[in-house]
Structures are given as C-alpha cells and as structure tokens.
Amino acid sequence: MKFVTFVYDDGKGTVYEEKTVKVTRPLIVLDEWRIFPISVAFIYLKEDSSDVYNMVKMMSQFEFGIPSQCCVQKKYLSARNKEQQ
C-alpha cells in the first residue's frame, strides 16, 4: 500500500481532491452521545513541523483537556515493515 493523496468526502457522496478544498474539518457521522467523552485523540500529521506538533499538543491538552498521540507521516512510513507497505 502506498499513500498517494488526501481526498475529502462531503458526507453526501461527493469526493473532492485536496487542492480544491479550502477548509478541512472532521465530519462527525455519529450521534454526539456515541463519541463523548473523548478519552484520547490520535492526530496524523502530514509534515514533521514542531510548530504544528506543539500546537496540537497544547490545544488538545489545555483547550479541550484531551490527551493526544501524534503520528508523522514520514516517520510512520519509515517504521513499517516492508510487508506492510
């Protein structure tokens, strides 16, 4: 498996390429009572930027009170076995 690009689904069946999307945010497809309280947030970072990483960690902990685990795309792919790629 190889990462090619991000695409976004509007929840109505239309899929958009990353370059055409101006604002991205998670789409919640479950009723709110099914996902709260959140115990941990998993964040997949496209780039290895300490500014973005620090912002994610600060916002998740101090703004929302949720522990987070970040995964950087490049580090994730390099850590996988050849059989998994």
The per-type count for the chain, helices as H runs and strands as E runs, is: 3, 4
CA–CA separation, 29 and 35 (whole Å): 10
Cα–chain center distance at 57: 13
Domain spans in the chain, listed from the N-terminal domain onward:
29-84
Using one digit for the tens of pLDDT, what is the confidence trace for 42-78?
A: 888 888 888 888 888 888 888 888 899 998 888 777 7
pTM: 0.48
The confidence score (pLDDT) of residue 15 equals 84
